[in-house]
Amino acid sequence: MIRRSVLLGTGSALPVRAVSNAELAQTVETSDEWIVERTGIRNRHIAGEGETTASLATGAARAALDMAGLSPQDIDLIILATATPDQTFPASATLVQAALGIDDCVAFDVAAVCSGFLYAVTVADSMIRSGAAQRALVIGSETFSRILDWEDRTTCVLFGDGAGAIVLGAEESTDGKRGILSSKLHADGRHNQLLYVDGGPSTTQTVGKLRMKGQEVFRHAVVNLASVLTEVMELAGLAPTEIDWLIPHQANARILDATARKLKLSPDKVVMTVDRHANTSAASVPLALDLATRDGRIQPGDLLVLEAMGGGFTWGACVLRV
Ligand code: UT7
């Protein structure tokens, strides 16, 4: 028998307040035209009072559990990918655990910025396949609005807040056709200064603000995303032409178009949400996955590739048959 992690449900949660480019242009020296042309972003959600990474994560987790038809007590593992935790410690995953009323489970955060969700999925999948977990909540949740320098127009227009979650469950079958078929993670710490936060408990004792050299990140993103996608398809023994849906990290519509072109993938196979959510870091892949599941684009049997790249640099991808 082959033991795999299969997708049982998806969910998401967004802050109540939506902010258009035009609204942003009232306080930041920018324009709707510039943002749309350079990034494809039209809208983002910004967390208000009482909305935090953990509260959004809990909302997304509840929706994913509902879709899976499970109760919180069925979960024995929570991994939350975030770069904007509610507290430096303990892990925001434990706040989600408490909010869901789960008496005992494994709960921890993963910090890999925009590729955090891919890191979290890969760890959860390893634990499920090894027998260390049966049913996992894997969440990406961020409130980047709270670490943005709102005076820096080169970064503050690009990000938004939100959360996405999935439930993964162990399934044994003879053919192993369903579930996570392959995954691959990478990191290259030499690129720290291209995308980072200029503070932290052990250096400045402050939270810090996001800093990015956008153009250089852009160049690395296209190369790394195309190569890791090829890698996971080879690991799964499948050809890129078999992909039904590519669900990439949503940083910039131009990165998604360039990656699809490089891989000769039709743009209609790429799920695009950057227009409505902007870049929500670790939340962007599960938010896009949930949207395309709920609007009926993703159907049982479809072959999905999830992929992301972000600060570190870190990047990764996984192949999943639903
Ligand atoms: O999530 C992690 C991964 N992150 C990414 O993948 C982000 C990757 N990078 C990008 O998406 C793009 O590089 C950006 C969207 C960040 C920037 O786009 P770009 O086409 O590389 O623009 P640029 O940085 O070359 O800036 C072009 C011009 C500059 O003016 P000059 O020097 O040509 O006079 C900027 O000052 O646009 C100006 N500019 C703006 N103008 C209006 C920069 N930001 C803004 C703004 N509004 N918000």
203 in the same domain as 136: no
Residue at a domain's end among 119, 147, 173: 173
101 in the same domain as 15: yes
Distance 179 CA to ligand 1 centre (A): 38
Residue at a domain's end among 142, 173, 204: 173
Q: By the 8 A CB rule, do 197 and 208 touch?
A: yes
Q: How many Å apart are CA 34 and CA 30, to the nearest integer?
A: 7
**pTM score over 0.85:** yes
Q: How many Å apart are CA 44 and CA 160, to the nearest integer?
A: 5
> What was the pLDDT predicted at 263?
85
Q: Which domain holds residue 137?
A: 2-173
223 in the same domain as 143: no
223 in the same domain as 153: no
Residue at a domain's end among 173, 205, 234: 173
232 in the same domain as 157: no
159 in the same domain as 41: yes
Distance 304 CA to ligand 1 centre (A): 30
Residue 80 has pLDDT above 90, yes or no: yes
> Beta strands 245-248 and 77-81: pairing type?
unpaired
Quote the mean pLDDT of the chain.
97
Residue range 173-199, pLDDT digits in tens: 999 999 999 999 999 999 999 999 999
**Structure confidence at residue 64 as a pLDDT band (50, 70, 90):** very high
**Structure confidence at residue 61 as a pLDDT band (50, 70, 90):** very high
Listing DSSP states for 220-257 in one string gives HHHHHHHHHHHHHHHHHT--GGG-SEEEE--S-HHHHH
228 in the same domain as 135: no
> Quick one: which atom of ligand 1 is closest to the CA of 249?
1
Mean pLDDT, residues 12-20? 98
Q: Residues enclosing ligand 1, CB less than 6 A?
A: 30, 34, 38-39, 114, 153-154, 157-158, 214-215, 217-218, 221, 251-252, 255, 279, 310
Choosing from 154, 191, 287, 315 the residue with most ligand 1 atoms within 8 A of its CB, the one to mutate for a pocket test is 154
190 in the same domain as 162: no
213 in the same domain as 86: no
Distance 215 CA to ligand 1 centre (A): 7
Residue 161 has pLDDT above 90, yes or no: yes
163 in the same domain as 33: yes
> What was the pLDDT predicted at 262?
86
311 in the same domain as 225: yes
Q: How many Å apart are CA 285 and CA 283, to the nearest integer?
A: 6
Residue range 93-115, pLDDT digits in tens: 999 999 999 999 999 999 999 99
187 in the same domain as 136: no
> What was the pLDDT predicted at 84?
98
Domain count, the chain: 2
Provide the CATH number for the domain around residue 134: 3.40.47.10
